Amino acid sequence: MPRQFFVGGNFKMNGTIKSIKDIISGLNDAKLDGETEVVISPPSLYLLLARENLKKGIEVAAQNVFDKPNGAFTGEISVEQLKDSGITWTILGHSERRTLLAETDDFVASKTKVATDGGLSVILCCGETLEQREAGTTTDVVTSQLKAVADKISDWSKIVIAYEPIWAIGTGKVASTEQAQEVHAAIRKWLSDAVSSDAAEATRILYGGSVSEKNCVELAKQPDIDGFLVGGASLKPAFYDIINAKAGAAKL
C-alpha cells in the first residue's frame, strides 16, 4: 500500500495571534492536494487558536510534550492536556531542542513512548551535524538516535520520522536530492533490520532542512522521501506549493 505523502509546518517560536490567523486563513482557502496529509505546529500558546480556526482535514501538532502525567512540572505540557485540546500530533527530538536544551536520545525516546502510548502521533526528528557528515558517520548517528526509540517501543504506526541534517536547518543549505535519498534509504533499511519489514514499508520518512518551493518537487520524486517537515517556509505562501509537491512530481 502506498505511503501517504505528509507535509508538516513547524512554526518554531514565531507568530502572533494576527499572523497565525492569517496563515490559517490562507491554508483554509488554498487549493491543496487532498491526497497529502498536512499538520501545522504553532507555538504552544497558539495551539487552541489553530485548532479552533483550522478547517477539518488539517491537524495540529505541539512542538514538544513531557514524558510524565499531569503534575508538578513547571513549564511542561502533557499528553492528556494536548488530547483534551484536540491536538493529535507532537514534534519530538528536533535538533534545536537536542542542541539548545541538551535533550538526550534516551529522553526523546521516553517522550516518544509516553506520547504514542497516550494516543498521540509523533513526528520524530533525527539528523547529523556537518562535522559528523564530513566524518562519514551520518548513518551511524541517525540510526543511533532511532535505536533509542526502538529500545522503548515496538509499534511504529503512530510515528513519522523526519530526517533533518542539522547543517541544513535554517541555513539555506540543502542536502542534494541524492544525499537526502541516500539517508532516507538507509533509515528504511535500518527499520527493516531493527524493527520489521512491515514497519519499514509503512513508516513515512520526511526530509527537513531548508525545504522550499524551488526544491520540493525534485525531492518529492525520490522513492524513500515521503514528505517534508518545513520550517521558515511554512510561514509563507510557498507552503502551499510544498504541500502540493507530490502532485507536481506526478505530472513530471
Q: 157-171: per-residue pLDDT in tens?
A: 999 999 999 988 777
In the chain, the percentage of residues whose pLDDT exceeds 90 is 92
Q: Tell me the pLDDT band of 210, cut-offs 50, 70 and 90.
A: confident
pLDDT at 252 over 70: no
In the chain, the percentage of residues whose pLDDT exceeds 70 is 100
- 89 within 8 A of 39, measured Cβ to Cβ: yes
pLDDT at 175: 82
Tens digits of per-residue pLDDT, 117-163?
A: 999 999 999 999 989 998 999 999 999 999 999 999 999 999 999 99
Could you say which DSSP state residue 7 is in? E
- 41 within 8 A of 73, measured Cβ to Cβ: no
Q: Which residues are catalytic?
A: 94, 164
**What is each CA distance from 155 to 45, 173, 198, in whole angstroms?**
30, 34, 11
pLDDT at 251 over 80: no
What is the value of pTM for the model shown? Answer: 0.96
Q: Tell me the pLDDT band of 192, cut-offs 50, 70 and 90.
A: very high
pLDDT at 173: 77
Going from N- to C-terminal start, the domains of the chain cover: 6-251
Beta strands in the chain (DSSP E): 6-10, 37-41, 58-62, 89-92, 121-126, 159-163, 205-207, 227-230
How far is 152 from 114, CA to CA, in rounded Å?
Answer: 10
Average confidence (pLDDT) over 87-112: 97
Bridge partners of residue 92, in order along the sequence: 124
pLDDT at 27: 98
pLDDT at 224 over 90: yes
pLDDT at 170: 76
Q: Name the average pLDDT for the chain.
A: 95
Tens digits of per-residue pLDDT, 31-78?
A: 999 999 999 999 999 999 999 999 999 999 999 999 999 999 999 999
CATH for the stretch 6-251: 3.20.20.70
